[in-house]
Amino acid sequence: WRMAASLTAEALDAEAAFLPVQPVEERTTGDIPEGMVRSWFVVPDRLVVVQMPGSALSRLLADARRTESPDASIPPGGLRLAAGGVGKGETIHGVPIDSRSSYRVALTERVLAQSEQFPALKQAGTPDPGPLLEDSVVAGLREGASEPWSVERYRTLFSGAPTRESGLWRINFRDL
């Protein structure tokens, strides 16, 4: 699900993405047909993009990391989250999350509705609706299948890292 979150962040031009982790029952090797991937999305869920302060993004990322543990206590009706677009050391665009900055974050409507489980979501701005999660992930996988990915590329995406280098520029106006 981290790879799906990274693909979602890229597709929606978001700096990070948080997706609900859904159980996948199939065990397979080799190519995975699109129909099998689509079967993993048992609940229709629409993507949304919100603006979120860095302080809230940091808390949501910490909550997502906590829910990744198989021993994590998930409340009834709660979700496990997968984070994508986040680099090593919990960075966005290669720099630590700035609590005073605002970030463009992709979520699903189901995730956004979990503000009791994830209080940082209460600071999310007005949601801008996007495509269905299933369609967005399948499109990202289809695009990636147009040319073979190396094992290292898959390893990076499975970690939830950004799909490509960022074009972020940090400018200190004092120095101009």
Per residue of the chain (176 residues), what is the pLDDT tens digit?
A: 888 888 888 888 899 999 998 877 667 666 777 677 777 778 899 999 999 999 999 999 999 999 988 888 889 989 999 998 887 788 887 788 999 999 999 999 999 999 999 999 999 999 999 999 888 888 887 876 677 766 666 666 655 556 555 555 555 566 55
Provide the percentage of residues in the chain whose pLDDT is more than 90. 40
Confidence (pLDDT) at 122: 96
Which of 65, 49, 67 has its CA nearest to residue 13?
49
User: What pLDDT score does 63 carry?
Assistant: 94
pLDDT at 125: 93
- What's the sign of the alpha-carbon dihedral 100, 48, 81, 149? negative
Q: What is residue 84's three-state secondary structure?
A: strand
pTM attached to this predicted model: 0.81
**Residue 138 neighbours by CB under 8 Å, 6+ apart:** 34, 37, 38
